[in-house]
Amino acid sequence: MPQQQHADGPAPVIAPGYTYATVTDKISAIVLTRRTPRWWFVGAALMFALVMLLLYAVAYLLLRGVGIWGVNIPVGWGFAIINFVWWIGIGHAGTLISAILLLLRQEWRTSINRFAEAMTLFAVACAGLFPLLHLGRPQLFYWLLPYPNTMGLWPQWRSPLVWDVFAVGTYATVSLMFWYVGLIPDLATLRDRSQHRLAQVIYGFLAMGWRNAASHWQRYQTAYYLLAALATPLVVSVHSVVGLDFAAGLIPGWHSTIFPPYFVAGAIFSGFAMVMTIAIPLRRVFGLEDFITMRHLNNMAKVMLATGLIVAYGYLIEIFTAWYSGNQFEWYMTVNRMLGPYAPAYWLMIGANVVVPQLFWSRRVRRHVPALLVISIIVNVGMWLERFIIVVTSLHRDFIPAAWGMYVPTRWDWALYVGTIGLFFALLFLFVRLLPAISIFEMRELVAESERHGEAHPAPRAGEAV
Amino acid sequence: MAEFEDGEALLRAARAAREQGYRRMEAYTPFPVEGLPEVLSVRGRRLPLIVLGGGLVGGATGLLLQWYAAAVNYPFNVGGRPHASWPAFIPVTFELTILVAALSAVLGMFALNGLPQPYHPVFNVAEFSAASRDRFFLCIEATDPRFDLQETRAFLETLGARGVFEVEP
């Protein structure tokens, strides 16, 4: 059983016995010296095969047009938008961990922030494909940007889809900068520690001559905190804008004022599920149990529980307001979700997002690693279903019964979706191999901090009760 | 340049050097050490102002751009909404505020730190590569008015350093 919480301070976020040198060596060794494990080649090959599938699906789509998908006239938004919202949502946990938890001075973020930020970037990269590809004429995507042109035309500023361009563009740029700024001191570490001339040059180039000077650190920290303070409202706004894609519409089931906060909560919920899905295998195969401790997993489970409850509340309020509105279309939309042709998806979603996460109330479940992995995968599926329900069930039966239809995804919908999963994990595989998956300098800071705490509480922690 | 084992020793050394009257010095540490910028009298008030300025520029540009495009340059009836429909302009204004503020935070930090700068004389000390691992360095620059090669070296040796090195320019 892991150690219980100390009376004055929380359980350590790093296993005892580490020094500046050992944390540095341990994390940089994964990139620099340790032999690439066989599973990496197997996994990376598999994921690159899926990237090929993605490229094939995209090429065929560009050749033949969006008609190869299952979208039709009532349901114009199919997998493309479902997957867009799903991927963007996954990205949000990374920013939450790196920015919001930094502002709240949660030191347990340190060992998970780097790969959570990487996860954000790769998820946004996957998400960014869909809005472009689902355009009927993707080659004209640049018409969404404001630039002086010979046609004298501007984007239509009142459309949430134009807001999306700005929101996702800003989000991708800011996340990339935040991630890169966080990497610079670690790139300098890799530059100083690598033995290969080529690696020294590449890491040295990327580190831009970072030399750990105290005056640089001072400005660096200021910049890092300011970025965190800017990323926090950004992350809330991005998924709110995504929520407005729906909420600004008139469709029953979409036109709901609760969407912006409820989408943000859902994004954090699904994002933490993905962080957990990645963290558990990562700590195991690289032997990082000392850095990504049970306390991290436990806290992530608690965040998932909290946001999961907000999502469950959102479901409840949607049903309540549909009934309370006295609007026959709203009420029919709700009944149709529960009992209509897509009812199995609805009930699976309720099971995966509302019922299963309640297991996190139990401390035993929160400390059981395989259970955490299984539940987080279930939540990922459940949150995908949530977007499916919102997009499809609202559209396929709305105001005019003559315009009712069904949406059945084709194999090209699936190929594109599975392909982006491949792209996501392929990038993640490259990332863990080429860059430090855990922030090295922040771990050194943590070591310094735990030493200071050690002086403050000279009594040994082991054996102390609750 | 003197090498130390931990942040406390470096902090003590920097204070001692300050009392000796040295001003042009720089410390190199594997992570930010609390209290060090104050001892070295590094001030960091410019970056937040740059970021604020960037944010204001971004927000103003966003709002003016939308207003100009939708209400002045090519007014157009979209869904019966007013030309200067300011609530619909808020999301883009907000995102551009954040974007320009964040860009100025990063580029401002690079500019104030003088990065990218791949070559710096401190890299000539072989032991210096440990600054990114577990060692702390204090470097007194030769441009300091009180600097004297022998004297400064002797002074640094009194501070309990692991080693004292000369930095080739």
DSSP per-residue codes, A7-50: SSSPPPSS-SS--HHHHHHHHHHHHHTSPPPHHHHHHHHHHHHH
Q: How confident is the model at residue A171 (pLDDT cuts 50, 70, 90)?
A: very high
pLDDT for the residue A167: 92
Contacts of A250 in chain B (CB under 8 A): none
Nearest chain A residue (CA) to B100:
A170
Question: What separation in angstroms does the CA of A242 have from each of A81, A85, A167, A180, A462?
Answer: 10, 7, 8, 25, 48
Q: Is the pLDDT of residue B142 over 50?
A: yes
- B118 closest CB neighbour out of A24, A209, A445: A209
Helix A110-133 vs helix A411-434: crossing angle, to nearest 10 = 150
Give a yes or no: residue A364 inside a domain: yes
Q: Is the pLDDT of residue A214 over 70?
A: yes
Nearest chain B residue (CA) to A226:
B105
A187 contacts A206 by C-beta, under 8 angstroms: yes
Distance CA A72, CA A69 (A): 9
What is the token pair recorded at A51?
């990237």
Q: Is the pLDDT of residue B128 over 90?
A: no
Average pLDDT over residues A358-386: 90
Strands of B25-28's sheet in order across: B25-28, B136-140, B2-4, B163-164
B74 vs A152: CB contact, 8 Å cut-off? yes
Backbone φ, ψ for residue A361 (5° rounding): -65, -25
Contacts of A60 (CB under 8 A, 6+ apart): A68, A412
| DSSP state letter for B148 | -
pTM of the model: 0.87
Contacts of B51 (CB under 8 A, 6+ apart): A226, A230, B101, B104, B105, B108
CATH code of A217's domain:
1.20.1630.10
Count of CB contacts below 8 A, A vs B? 193
- Across chain A, what does the average pLDDT equal? 85
B110 contacts B116 by C-beta, under 8 angstroms: yes
A240 contacts A260 by C-beta, under 8 angstroms: yes
Q: Is the pLDDT of residue A459 over 70?
A: no
Distance CA B74, CA B68 (A): 8
Give a yes or no: residue A307 inside a domain: yes
DSSP per-residue codes, A166-193: HHHHHHHHHHHHHHHHHHHHHHHHHHHH
Q: Is the pLDDT of residue A458 over 50?
A: no
pLDDT digits (tens, 9 = 90+) for B7-23: 777 777 777 777 777 77
Distance CA B84, CA A26 (A): 58
Name the strand (E) or helix (H) holding B137. strand B136-140
Give a yes or no: residue A195 inside a domain: yes
Domain range spanning residue A266?
20-144+158-452
What is the token pair recorded at B6?
């931990």
Residue scoring higher pLDDT (B88 or A27): B88
Q: Is the pLDDT of residue A456 over 70?
A: no
Contacts of B49 in chain A (CB under 8 A): none
Nearest to A418 by CA among A83, A41, A7: A83
Q: How far is B119 from chain A (nearest CA, A)?
A: 7
Give a yes or no: residue A177 inside a domain: yes
Q: Is the pLDDT of residue A464 over 80?
A: no
Give a yes or no: residue A458 inside a domain: no
Q: Is the pLDDT of residue A237 over 80?
A: yes
Distance CA A425, CA A333 (A): 36
Q: Is the pLDDT of residue A332 over 70?
A: yes
pLDDT for the residue A11: 60
Q: Is the pLDDT of residue A52 over 90?
A: yes
Residue scoring higher pLDDT (A346 or A5): A346
Interface test with B, best of A218, A441, A444 (most B CBs within 10 A): A218
Average pLDDT over residues A200-217: 83
Q: Is the pLDDT of residue A461 over 60?
A: no
Q: Is the pLDDT of residue B6 over 90?
A: no
Q: Which residues are bridge partners to B2 per DSSP?
A: B138, B164
* B26 inside 8 A of chain A by CB: yes
- Across chain B, what does the average pLDDT equal? 82
* Least trusted range by pLDDT, from A218-232, A367-381, A413-427, B4-18: B4-18
Average pLDDT over residues A212-235: 87
Alpha-helical runs (H) found in B20-148: 36-39, 46-67, 86-113
pLDDT digits (tens, 9 = 90+) for A138-170: 999 999 999 888 988 899 888 999 999 999 999
Q: Is the pLDDT of residue A136 over 60?
A: yes
pLDDT digits (tens, 9 = 90+) for A54-84: 999 999 999 998 889 988 888 889 898 999 9
Q: Is the pLDDT of residue B60 over 70?
A: yes
Beta strands B25-28 and B136-140: pairing type? Answer: antiparallel
Give a yes or no: residue A13 inside a domain: no
* A24 inside 8 A of chain B by CB: yes
Name the strand (E) or helix (H) holding A284. helix A259-285
Question: What separation in angstroms does the CA of B150 have from each of A175, A318, B16, B146?
Answer: 49, 78, 17, 12
| DSSP state letter for A253 | T
Instruction: Please report the ipTM that was assigned to this predicted complex.
Output: 0.86
A214 vs B36: CB contact, 8 Å cut-off? yes
pLDDT digits (tens, 9 = 90+) for A13-50: 777 677 777 778 777 777 777 777 788 889 889 999 99
Contacts of A234 in chain B (CB under 8 A): 95, 98, 102
A245 contacts A76 by C-beta, under 8 angstroms: no
Give a yes or no: residue A405 inside a domain: yes
Q: Which residues are bridge partners to B25 per DSSP?
A: B140
Instruction: Give the three-state DSSP class for B26.
Output: strand
Give a yes or no: residue A462 inside a domain: no
B98 vs A213: CB contact, 8 Å cut-off? no
Q: What percent of chain B has pLDDT over 70?
A: 99
pLDDT digits (tens, 9 = 90+) for A253-293: 888 888 889 989 999 999 999 999 988 988 888 777 778 88
What is the token pair recorded at A15?
């296993």
Q: Is the pLDDT of residue A107 over 60?
A: yes
Nearest to A223 by CA among B49, B25, B35: B49
Q: How confident is the model at residue B143 (pLDDT cuts 50, 70, 90)?
A: confident
Question: What separation in angstroms does the CA of B91 have from each of A161, A268, A271?
Answer: 11, 21, 23
pLDDT for the residue A463: 38
Q: Which residues are bridge partners to B138 per DSSP?
A: B2, B27
Backbone φ, ψ for residue B167 (5° rounding): -95, 115
Total tally of structural domains belonging to chain A:
1
Residue keyed to tokens 């906060």 = A261
Contacts of A294 (CB under 8 A, 6+ apart): A2, A367
* A69 inside 8 A of chain B by CB: no
Q: Is the pLDDT of residue A1 over 60?
A: no
Distance CA A314, CA A243 (A): 13
Nearest to A262 by CA among A277, A273, A247: A247
Q: How confident is the model at residue A10 (pLDDT cuts 50, 70, 90)?
A: low
Single-letter amino acid code for the residue at A277: T
A217 vs B32: CB contact, 8 Å cut-off? yes
Contacts of A223 in chain B (CB under 8 A): 47, 105-106, 108-109
What is the token pair recorded at B30?
């594997």
Question: What separation in angstroms does the CA of A261 have from each of A215, A304, A357?
Answer: 40, 16, 20
